[in-house]
Chain A
Amino acid sequence: MTRELRPAFVLIVVMTVLTGLLYPLAVTGAAQLLFPAKANGSLIERGGTIVGSSLIGQSFAGDAYFHPRPSAAGQGYDAANSGAGNLGAINKALIEAQAKAIAELRAANPDAPGPVPADLATASGSGLDPHISPAGAAFQVERVAKARNLPPDRVRALVAEYTEGRQLGLFGEPRVNVLLLNLALDERLPGDRLSSR
């Protein structure tokens, strides 16, 4: 009996050292060597300050910026507390929240074409979705252009530049990274945003 069981004691310790310490530390070393920026969270710096991560969404409320999706992470885009709404499809709370979001989007974007794109009125799975759909960006172009006193076509051109296609032409969905787009807006199309805010 003990002959069958003794290995269990030592083996769990060996496995803990091997898969719990050596493995993650070796991967950490290799990752830091091969892909340092990505291994450290794809952070974005502007003027020596970290303004966020290109993979993590953040809140934007000003008219002069593109807005991300509704977020259920903490108080909204809390990157230390990811989360979703998780309400069921026949829950009145869900339907009312989305109907409210639709009404607010309509009011904030009076010149927007067509119906409200689905991603803009629904909370993402992570609460940190860095992207909106190309339709979600197009919906906001007029508002952003107006707030920056710019012709909408210039904003539209920037959106087109920042629209990512399917990866390798096949995987995933076309999308626009909100933080990268807004940073590009401030750098390349400031307009007279400051006076209008």
Chain B
Amino acid sequence: MNTADILQIIVFCALLIALTPVAGGYMARVFSGERVLLDRVLGPVERGIYRLCGIRPDQEQHWTAYALSMLAFNLLGFLLLYALLRAQGWLPLNPAGMAPVPPDLAFNTAVSFMTNTNWQAYGGESTLSYLSQMAGLTVQNFVSAATGIAVLVALIRGFARRSARTVGNFYVDMTRATLYVLLPISIVTALVLVSQGVPQNLDSYTVAHTVEGARQVIAQGPVASQEAIKQLGSNGGGFFSVNSAHPYENPTPLANFVEMIFLLLLAAGLTDTFGRMVGDRRQGWAIFAAMGILFLGGLGVAYWAELQGNPAVIAAGLDPAAGNMEGKEVRFGIVNSVLWAVATTAASNGSVNAMHDSFMPLGGMVPMVNMMLGEVVFGGVGAGLYGMLIFVLLAVFIAGLMVGRTPEYLGKKIEAKEIKLAMIATLTLPLGVLGFSALTLVLPAGLAGIQDPGPHGLSEVLYAYSSGTGNNGSAFAGFGANSLYHNTTIALAMLLGRFLVILPVLAIAGGLAAKRAVPPSAGTFPTHGGLFIGLLVGIVLIVGGLTFFPALALGPVVEHLMLGTGTFF
């Protein structure tokens, strides 16, 4: 541990806390339909889009219509992206002459970007044309993030409204999220990144003749525009294979800091948006606090683990001072690699600036656990908070059971229907993670993807399906995921993890909106204090622990023990 590391963590956390109410307040105005500063410029664009698409912004939707619109829009986005990837060989903006993406990889990639997972079975600079990167991946980076925000906003309206039939208009929420939130911030961020050295051009790859006389082909392209929304929209699919470890995606420590802030900014800000829209900002900060506690806990464990370095290599004569540098970049060192790894898996972003596969066993377990907790520690934009609100419902339900009262949250009675729907959403994760991992371990086609022998091989499988089902997208990248079997099953896990959560959430939103408010009484359990925060953290950890501890014990935990005894594979 050194002071420079601790200082960087403190500055990061302080800035995030300071920006949360700024972003939260702005988004609350955007989704309440209030005027914002950008109205003058974007108002006409917004109205033009509505006219062109035949959207009537004043006409709100019942939750079923909202869900249907969301599904239709996502399905079309998927089909368009799939077609683009399959046809890229014949389309323009392909200076490197990339061939069409094979069907299974195109299916996996299209699902991956539509579900906001952004799992990379593809290698960016070696597979995709500039047109696929821009008109395909970048578009889904925007609209999948906007979809997550829209679903969350519908759920918030469910809590905030009394005896209402509708939860908003999906197309309006989607359009406003893109126009007023994602697009303007992305434009500014992209240019900041270019100022740090992230390329933004449409030229063919550069051929350099190196100092020692070799030929080096340097892949470039429109990187900055994708990088900005990749971080902001909790997407995470990189322009290059190695994602934000690549010096062109993440050239300087300052670029890295900016990318880390934007990785969490909207997810954190939405907790305050929630508080403002339900009329009690303390409720938002309570959830923020619960997320913050889980975040710092994970960060502490991972930082400690990576700082140790690998004892086997230290014994062979490596200087232990710098920690475990395998798979990490010198400009980031341990602290920025670990901070990123924890943030990116807490946030279901899934971009990486260091290779999690080569983390120390417990260092690699933290990102995995973040995903297994359901991506609710800040989580994906929108997705993280609606996931956490599911846990909130479970928490008030359990608290209600303990004292023998009908549970309430924000003045709404939480009844059997809400809890059943919440359980469907909660059980999706073990179904996807443990179900597909088990299948993978008994099928030769599944086992073929494992790179590392011994327990780390199991860790690779668990990580892959946690990442897919949690819609994270990061990987233990040694895992050979680009095969017919894994492309298909991981795509299914991603679909399951996305829509089997969204649909119950929207159903809960519709049901809650229709309910009358119950006035708070002396027996109402306050949901903004320390007791509730502690209960919520406990519920998240207990549900995750009961579900996944046996699997973790056979993977990273046993790896850690074997490292201690010097048993290698």
Which of A's residues lie within 8 Å of B, judged by CB? 1, 4-12, 14-16, 18-21, 23-24, 26-28, 30-32, 34-35, 38-43, 49-62, 65, 69, 73, 77-92, 94-95, 98-99, 102-103, 106, 114-119, 121-133, 135-136, 166-168, 170-173, 175, 179, 182-183, 186
Cβ < 8 Å to A, chain B residues 544-569? 559, 562-563, 567-569
Contact at A28–B225, with CB atoms within 8 Å? Answer: yes
Min C-beta distance of B242 to chain A, whole Å: 4
Min C-beta distance of B366 to chain A, whole Å: 14
A6-B54, A92-B568 given as contacts; is B318 within 8 A of A28 (CB)?
no
* B118: chain A residues within 8 A (beta carbon): none
B499 in the interface (beta carbon within 8 A): no
**0/1 interface trace, chain B 325-363, chain A, CB 8 Å (1 if under):** 111111111001100000000000000111101111100
A28 to B4: give the CA distance in the assembly, Å: 36
* B197: chain A residues within 8 A (beta carbon): 38, 42, 54-55
- Closest-by-CB residue of B relative to A5 is B72
* A121: chain B residues within 8 A (beta carbon): 313, 318
A65 to B53: give the CA distance in the assembly, Å: 61
A84 to B19: give the CA distance in the assembly, Å: 34
* A170: chain B residues within 8 A (beta carbon): 4, 7-8, 11
Contact at A89–B459, with CB atoms within 8 Å? Answer: no
Contact at B318–A53, with CB atoms within 8 Å? Answer: no
A32 to B203: give the CA distance in the assembly, Å: 12
A94-B358, A95-B313, A132-B330 given as contacts; is B318 within 8 A of A115 (CB)?
yes
Cβ < 8 Å to A, chain B residues 168-201? 171, 174-175, 178, 183, 186-187, 190-191, 194-201
- Which of A60, A83, A102, A172 has the most chain B CB atoms closer than 10 A to its own CB? A172
Contact at B209–A28, with CB atoms within 8 Å? Answer: no
- Closest-by-CB residue of A relative to B61 is A4
* A42: chain B residues within 8 A (beta carbon): 197, 199, 251
B240 in the interface (beta carbon within 8 A): yes
Contact at B175–A11, with CB atoms within 8 Å? Answer: yes
Q: Of B201, B322, B325, which one neighbours A28 at CB under 8 angstroms?
A: B201
Q: Of A7, A15, A51, A90, which one neighbours B54 at CB under 8 angstroms?
A: A7
Min C-beta distance of A31 to chain B, whole Å: 4
Min C-beta distance of B123 to chain A, whole Å: 7
- Can you list 8 residue pairs at the A/B interface with Cβ under 8 Å? A10-B53, A28-B202, A56-B248, A80-B205, A89-B360, A118-B319, A170-B7, A173-B332
Contact at B242–A84, with CB atoms within 8 Å? Answer: yes
Contact at A84–B245, with CB atoms within 8 Å? Answer: yes
A42 to B135: give the CA distance in the assembly, Å: 25
A10 to B357: give the CA distance in the assembly, Å: 42
* B559: chain A residues within 8 A (beta carbon): 88-90
Contact at A82–B77, with CB atoms within 8 Å? Answer: no
Contact at B69–A84, with CB atoms within 8 Å? Answer: no
Total interface residues in chain B, CB < 8 Å? 133
- Closest-by-CB residue of A relative to B453 is A91
Cβ < 8 Å to A, chain B residues 440-479? 451-456, 459-460, 476-478
B80 in the interface (beta carbon within 8 A): yes
**0/1 interface trace, chain B 287-316, chain A, CB 8 Å (1 if under):** 000000000000000000000011011001
A51 to B213: give the CA distance in the assembly, Å: 9
Given pairs A7-B69, A16-B139, A98-B326, 15 additional interface contacts (CB within 8 A): A1-B68, A10-B53, A11-B55, A21-B134, A27-B224, A39-B194, A55-B248, A81-B125, A82-B219, A86-B451, A87-B452, A98-B310, A103-B317, A125-B354, A172-B256
Contact at A5–B199, with CB atoms within 8 Å? Answer: no
* A5: chain B residues within 8 A (beta carbon): 68-69, 72
A65-B212, A86-B357 given as contacts; is B69 within 8 A of A8 (CB)?
yes
- Closest-by-CB residue of B relative to A114 is B319
Contact at A43–B206, with CB atoms within 8 Å? Answer: yes
Min C-beta distance of A145 to chain B, whole Å: 18
A14 to B171: give the CA distance in the assembly, Å: 12
- Which of B134, B207, B316 has the most chain A CB atoms closer than 10 A to its own CB? B316
Q: Of B4, B178, B242, which one neighbours A82 at CB under 8 angstroms?
A: B242
Contact at B135–A15, with CB atoms within 8 Å? Answer: no
A31-B194, A56-B218, A86-B357 given as contacts; is B310 within 8 A of A95 (CB)?
yes
B136 in the interface (beta carbon within 8 A): yes
Q: Of B135, B141, B460, which one neighbours A21 at CB under 8 angstroms?
A: B135
A135 to B322: give the CA distance in the assembly, Å: 10
A43 to B246: give the CA distance in the assembly, Å: 16
* B224: chain A residues within 8 A (beta carbon): 27, 31, 39
A174 to B336: give the CA distance in the assembly, Å: 13
- Which of A16, A21, A114 has the most chain B CB atoms closer than 10 A to its own CB? A16
* B485: chain A residues within 8 A (beta carbon): none
B38 in the interface (beta carbon within 8 A): no
A81 to B96: give the CA distance in the assembly, Å: 13
- Closest-by-CB residue of A relative to B452 is A88
A79 to B569: give the CA distance in the assembly, Å: 31
- Closest-by-CB residue of B relative to A69 is B330
* A116: chain B residues within 8 A (beta carbon): 317-319
Min C-beta distance of A62 to chain B, whole Å: 6
Contact at B330–A8, with CB atoms within 8 Å? Answer: no
B271 in the interface (beta carbon within 8 A): no
* A99: chain B residues within 8 A (beta carbon): 313, 316-317
A12-B77, A16-B139, A89-B359 given as contacts; is B241 within 8 A of A82 (CB)?
yes
A131 to B199: give the CA distance in the assembly, Å: 19
- Which of A10, A80, A170, A179 has the most chain B CB atoms closer than 10 A to its own CB? A80
Q: Of A34, A88, A124, which one neighbours B330 at CB under 8 angstroms?
A: A124
- Which of A15, A65, A117 has the most chain B CB atoms closer than 10 A to its own CB? A15
- Closest-by-CB residue of A relative to B124 is A82
Min C-beta distance of B46 to chain A, whole Å: 11
B211 in the interface (beta carbon within 8 A): yes
Contact at B80–A12, with CB atoms within 8 Å? Answer: yes
* B1: chain A residues within 8 A (beta carbon): none
* B208: chain A residues within 8 A (beta carbon): 43, 50-53, 58, 79
